[in-house]
Amino acid sequence: MGLQGGFNQRTTDYERLNLLSTDPLMQGAPTRFSPNFGTGIYLANPVYYIGASVPYIVENIILQNSELTNSDNLSIEKRHYYLSGGFIYPINDHLKISPGFLLKAQEAIPLSWNANVNIIVDEIAYIGLNYRNVGDFGILGQLVLNENLRVGYAYDINTSAVSINTSGSHEIFVNYRIKLKNYKKDPQCPVYF
């Protein structure tokens, strides 16, 4: 189980826009400080994992204008609910396959989901594909350099109408694990998940 906390500070300077006409919603440079917290639970063993989380619990007001008669709160952060899971299936001594999923729910928004599959070669190289229900595909790879260090790359390919404005996105990651040897018991991070 875990808890997280943090804050966002947003400043919008409407004076920097070249507006054709005056808009009462776009005056001044409002600043909002929004603290928030989240929670989640994650269960794993060497064969499967499942997790659930709510990363932001407080529904902060992002944009507010008291001049409007129908609503004072124009834009509010809404909670997102996540459920994820997956498992490892050994094909032979050198290959394993690892399918997984992620479900995301939010009030007044259709349920979204991701499905992915990784092939694990000799516990060192990961090669995978990802599909998102809005029509996005992704390819990814990861190398386990040693017990503490992993590096990886992912490329997201958009196939929706937005694809005329983007050629996709690239992500590079480095993961370093710090072992706690002097703790009561050296906690082992899940190897696959």
| pLDDT, tens only, 166-178 | 778 899 999 998 8
* Predicted TM-score (pTM) of this structure: 0.72
* 101 half-sphere exposure, CB direction, 13 A CA radius: 8
Which has the higher per-residue pLDDT, 63 or 121? 121
- pLDDT at residue number 97: 97
- pLDDT at residue number 176: 92
Q: Rounded to 5 degrees, what are φ and ψ at 16? A: -85, -5
Closest CA to 98 of 85, 109, 83: 85
Q: In the chain, where are the structural domains located?
A: 1-87, 116-193
| pLDDT, tens only, 15-25 | 777 777 776 66
165 has a pLDDT exceeding 80: no
Closest CA to 142 of 179, 112, 172, 164: 172
- pLDDT at residue number 24: 65
